[in-house]
Structure 1
Amino acid sequence: MQLNHLDLQVTDVAQSVEFFEQIFGLVLQSNRRSPAIAILGDGAGFVLVLQRRDAVAYPEGFHLGFLVEDVALVYAAHARASAAGLAVTPVETDNRSTRIYCRAPDGYAVEVGCPRRRDG
């Protein structure tokens, strides 16, 4: 089984598109002018659908995560989020991964993490 897409409800489609393009490098695949829906992709099969709702409420702890193959990419995402003035955690490293979390426009967290490589 393979994940086909994730559909998020957002209050401002254009603002959320900009967030996912700027910080995470997703590419818009639908009409940029639509205030109701946007479809973005990562070029590797993942599709993110953003649909407008007047009000959204995500449960505490809800987040989505992107995996990257190099710790430098975690630091690069941190730099982009910081430069954009977003709320972003410091880079964290433990025995599982190196990661950050930043807040999307509607308040949920987005993680960027590089799993720790285990040799042997």
Structure 2
Amino acid sequence: MRLNHLNLTVSDVKATIDFIVKYFGMEVRHTRGNGFAVLLDDGGLVLTLMKGDQVTYPSTFHIGFIQESEDRVNEIYQLMKDDGLSVNPPQRSHAWTFYVQAPGGFTVEVLC
């Protein structure tokens, strides 16, 4: 068994779609106005995004995008930095990793 569906409530569905597609390559399968979207990855994950008026996740809540190499983590970090996102450089922790705030109101970990 594997987890293959996640629904996130986000403050801005369109901005969240743009972020996830640009940096992580997920495919938009369906949208319904500015309030709902279905995204798919190449491993079978179905990520749905739903618009919420008050989005508050616990400070430790995050989702992760595992990359194939440290070089890929570094590339995504540099792209985000070049795009003006507030990101600290990757560091060695439980993995080669960094965290970034997604525009929808949640944290994303990029790791290898």
Match of 1:113 in 2: 111
Moved over 6 A (4+): none
Q: TM-score, with normalisation over the residues of structure 2?
A: 0.91
**Deviation of 1:22 (Å):** 1.1
Are the equivalent residues in 2 in contact too, given 1:91–1:98 (CA < 8 A)?
yes
Secondary structure class of the residue paired with 1:30: strand
From the CA coordinates, give the structure whose radius of gyration is larger: 1
Cα deviation per residue 1:75-120 (whole Å; 9 max; x = unaligned)?
A: 11101211222121211024x3111111111332101111xxxxxx
Are the equivalent residues in 2 in contact too, given 1:39–1:50 (CA < 8 A)?
yes
Are the equivalent residues in 1 in contact too, given 2:15–2:104 (CA < 8 A)?
no
Q: TM-score, with normalisation over the residues of structure 1?
A: 0.85
Match of 1:99 in 2: 97
Tell me which moved more, 103-112 or 69-78: 103-112
Structure 1 residue 20 corresponds to structure 2 residue 20:
yes
Secondary structure class of the residue paired with 1:40: strand
In 1, Cα distance between equivalents of 2:34 and 2:108 = 22
The gaps in structure 1 that reach 5 residues or longer are 115-120
Aligned residue-pair number: 112
Are the equivalent residues in 1 in contact too, given 2:4–2:44 (CA < 8 A)?
yes
Q: RMSD value over aligned CA atoms? A: 1.4
Match of 2:9 in 1: 9
In 1, Cα distance between equivalents of 2:9 and 2:107 = 14
In 1, Cα distance between equivalents of 2:109 and 2:35 = 25
* Structure of greater relative contact order (alpha carbons < 8 Å, 6+ residues apart): 2
Identity %, equivalent residues: 38
Cα deviation per residue 1:20-54 (whole Å; 9 max; x = unaligned)?
A: 011211111113x6211111111111121100111
